[in-house]
Amino acid sequence: MATNRDAEAILDIVDAAQQIQRAVRALTLEAFQSDREKQAAVLYFYIIIGEATKRVSTELRSQFPDIPWRDMAGLRDIAAHQYDRVDLETIWIITQTSIPDLLTRLEPLLEPPEESQ
C-alpha cells in the first residue's frame, strides 16, 4: 500500500462494495427495480466508491492498471449528477459481476505485508 491515504481509500471502497452486496443479497433484478430504498442505498455506496477512488494515488493506480479506476469514478459522477441516466439493469449487472471481482482484487491490499524472516 502506497500511503495511509491509499489504505483509507481502499478500505472505504471495500466497505462500500460489501454494503452493496449486503443490500442486494436476497434480491432478483425485478425486486431491485421495484425497491427504491435498495436502489438509493446501492447508488449511495457507488458514490462512496467513486469518491474514494478519486483519493487513490496515481502511484497505486498505476500498480494495479487492471482495476477499473476511471469507470468507478465515472459511475459516481453519473449517480450523483446525471441520475436520470442511471440504468438499473446496468447497475444490477455491475453489482452482480464487477463488485465481487473488485473485492477479490482489493481485499488483499488491506492485508498487512508479510514480514520476511
Catalytic residues: 76, 81
* Nearest in space to 60 (alpha carbons), one of 114, 105, 17, 116: 105
CA 17 to CA 45: how far, in whole Å? 7
The greatest distance separating any two alpha carbons of the chain, rounded to the nearest whole angstrom, comes to 55
User: 42: which 3 cell numbers?
Assistant: 446501492
Residue 61 Cα distances to 15, 54, 58, 83, angstroms = 19, 10, 5, 27
